[in-house]
A and B are shown apart, each in its own frame.
Chain A
Amino acid sequence: MAARYVVAPAAEIPPGARKVVEAGQGRRIVVFNLGGEFFALLDRCPHQGGRLSEGKLCGLVESDEPGVFRYGRKGEILRCPWHQWEFDIRTGRSWHDPERTRVRAFPARVERGAVLREGIPAVETFPVRVEDDYVVVEA
Chain B
Amino acid sequence: MNVVRPIAAPGRPAVATLGLFDCDIHPRPLSLEEYRPWLSAEMWHRLSTYGIRPRHGFAKGYPFPKAAPLASRRDAWPPGKVPASDLDFLRAQHLDFHGIDIGVLNPLQPSGQGDQNDAFSAAMAYAVNEWQLERWLRDEPRLRASVVVPYEDGEASAREIRRRAGDRRFVQVLLMSRTAEPLGRKRYWPIYEAACEAGLPVAFHAFGYSGWAMTNGGWPSFYIEEVSEHATSCQSQVISLIVEGVFERFPSLRILMIECGFAWIPSVGWRLDKHWRKLKDEVPHLRRAPSEYLRQNFWVSTQPMDEPERPEHLLDVMEWIGWDRILYASDYPHWDFDDPRTAFPAFIPPERRRDIFGANARALYGMPAA
Rounded to whole angstroms, the CA-CA distance of A113 and B6 in the bound complex is: 31
Contact among B1, B335, B338, B341 with A84 in the assembled complex (CB-CB below 8 Å): B335
Chain A residues lying within 8 Å of B287, measured Cβ to Cβ, are none
Residue A119 at the chain B interface, CB threshold 8 Å? no
Chain B residues lying within 8 Å of A51, measured Cβ to Cβ, are 8, 75
Interface string of A6-44 (1 = CB under 8 A from B): 000000000000000000011110000000000000111
Contact among B4, B67, B68, B341 with A25 in the assembled complex (CB-CB below 8 Å): B4
Interface string of A46-68 (1 = CB under 8 A from B): 01111100111000000000000
Rounded to whole angstroms, the CA-CA distance of A47 and B5 in the bound complex is: 12
Rounded to whole angstroms, the CA-CA distance of A55 and B8 in the bound complex is: 14
Rounded to whole angstroms, the CA-CA distance of A48 and B343 in the bound complex is: 7
B140 smallest CB distance to A (angstroms) = 23
Residue A121 at the chain B interface, CB threshold 8 Å? no
Chain A residues lying within 8 Å of B4, measured Cβ to Cβ, are 25, 27, 42, 104
Chain B, range 132-172, C-beta contacts under 8 Å to A: none
Chain B, range 18-44, C-beta contacts under 8 Å to A: none
CB atoms of A83 and B342 under 8 A apart: no
**Interface majority SS on B: helix, strand, loop or mixed?**
loop
CB atoms of B8 and A50 under 8 A apart: yes
CB atoms of B7 and A26 under 8 A apart: yes
Question: Known interface pairs A25-B4, A26-B7, A28-B7. Does A54 touch B336 (Cβ–Cβ under 8 Å)?
Answer: no
Chain B residues lying within 8 Å of A104, measured Cβ to Cβ, are 1, 4
Chain B residues lying within 8 Å of A26, measured Cβ to Cβ, are 6-7
Residue B337 at the chain A interface, CB threshold 8 Å? yes
Chain B, range 296-326, C-beta contacts under 8 Å to A: none
Residue B73 at the chain A interface, CB threshold 8 Å? yes
Question: Closest chain A residue to B339 by CB distance?
Answer: A48
Chain A residues lying within 8 Å of B7, measured Cβ to Cβ, are 26-28, 43-44
Contact among B8, B74, B335, B336 with A49 in the assembled complex (CB-CB below 8 Å): B8
Rounded to whole angstroms, the CA-CA distance of A49 and B75 in the bound complex is: 13
CB atoms of A54 and B75 under 8 A apart: yes
Interface string of A62-94 (1 = CB under 8 A from B): 000000000000000000011110000000000
Contact among A25, A43, A83 with B335 in the assembled complex (CB-CB below 8 Å): A83
CB atoms of B73 and A81 under 8 A apart: yes
Question: Known interface pairs A44-B8, A84-B68. Does A50 touch B338 (Cβ–Cβ under 8 Å)?
Answer: no
Chain A residues lying within 8 Å of B339, measured Cβ to Cβ, are 48-49
**Interface majority SS on A: helix, strand, loop or mixed?**
loop
Rounded to whole angstroms, the CA-CA distance of A51 and B6 in the bound complex is: 12
Rounded to whole angstroms, the CA-CA distance of A131 and B342 in the bound complex is: 46
CB atoms of B336 and A83 under 8 A apart: yes
Chain B residues lying within 8 Å of A28, measured Cβ to Cβ, are 7
B74 smallest CB distance to A (angstroms) = 4
A31 smallest CB distance to B (angstroms) = 15
CB atoms of A50 and B335 under 8 A apart: no
A81 smallest CB distance to B (angstroms) = 4
Question: Closest chain B residue to A80 by CB distance?
Answer: B74
Interface centre among A26, A47, A48 (most CB of B within 10 A): A48
Rounded to whole angstroms, the CA-CA distance of A50 and B75 in the bound complex is: 9
A40 smallest CB distance to B (angstroms) = 14
Rounded to whole angstroms, the CA-CA distance of A27 and B342 in the bound complex is: 19
A96 smallest CB distance to B (angstroms) = 13
Contact among B74, B338, B341 with A81 in the assembled complex (CB-CB below 8 Å): B74
CB atoms of A84 and B8 under 8 A apart: no
Rounded to whole angstroms, the CA-CA distance of A50 and B7 in the bound complex is: 9
Question: Known interface pairs A49-B8, A49-B342. Does A84 touch B67 (Cβ–Cβ under 8 Å)?
Answer: yes
Rounded to whole angstroms, the CA-CA distance of A49 and B337 in the bound complex is: 11
B24 smallest CB distance to A (angstroms) = 15
What are the 8 A-B residue pairs with the smallest beta carbon separation, nearest first?
A81-B74, A54-B75, A48-B342, A81-B75, A28-B7, A49-B8, A48-B339, A84-B67
A sample of 9 more A-B contacts (CB under 8 A), given A27-B4, A82-B75, is A48-B342, A48-B343, A49-B341, A51-B8, A51-B75, A54-B74, A54-B75, A82-B337, A83-B336
Which B residues are within 8 Å of any A CB, using their own CB?
1, 4-8, 67-68, 73-75, 335-339, 341-343
